[in-house]
């Protein structure tokens, strides 16, 4: 599993949405969310042990930024899928670590 799998399921969900297959799109989006959680993409900017045990290593800053973009694409797609279906979101924004959030906690 890697970030490309998250991106792929997000694109599949978007394609299904464009076809009007909202329930199917919601299920594809849940796959993307599950992979993002497994890869701990919601903890990319956490410090130290808060990053999670399954956080994948990145070769360089560009790979890290690609993972960030993939996570936020999944997050917004999750929000839209929930709006379209009336089902709850799968990503709890309170559990997402951003660099600004971590700075506020340290202060």
Residues 6+ apart with CB under 8 A from 30: 90
**Residue 58 maps to a domain:** yes
Average pLDDT, the chain: 81
Counts for the chain of helices (H) and strands (E), in that order? 4, 0
Predicted pLDDT of residue 50? 52
Predicted pLDDT of residue 15? 95
**Residue 107 maps to a domain:** no
Best-predicted range by mean pLDDT (53-62, 64-73, 94-103): 64-73
**Residue 73 maps to a domain:** yes
pLDDT digits (tens, 9 = 90+) for 15-30: 998 998 888 988 999 9
**Residue 48 maps to a domain:** yes
Predicted pLDDT of residue 107? 45
What is the value of pTM for the model shown? 0.77
pLDDT digits (tens, 9 = 90+) for 32-59: 999 999 988 888 877 654 555 555 667 7
Is residue 3 pLDDT above 70, yes or no? yes
**Residue 85 maps to a domain:** yes
Percent of the chain with pLDDT over 90: 33
Q: How far apart are CA 86 and CA 26, in angstroms?
A: 10
Neighbours of 75 (CB within 10 A): 20
* Structural domain that includes position 38: 3-102
């Amino acid at each position: 599993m890697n970030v490309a799998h998250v991106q792929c399921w997000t694109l599949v969900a978007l394609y299904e949405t464009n076809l009007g297959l909202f329930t199917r799109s919601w299920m594809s989006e849940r796959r993307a969310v599950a992979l993002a959680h497994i890869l701990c993409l919601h903890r990319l900017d956490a410090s130290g042990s808060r990053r999670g045990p399954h956080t994948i290593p990145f070769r360089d800053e560009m790979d890290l930024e690609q993972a960030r973009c993939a996570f936020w694409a999944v997050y917004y797609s999750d929000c839209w899928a929930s709006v379209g279906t009336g089902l709850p979101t799968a990503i709890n924004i309170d559990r997402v670590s951003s660099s600004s959030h971590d700075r506020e906690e340290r202060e």
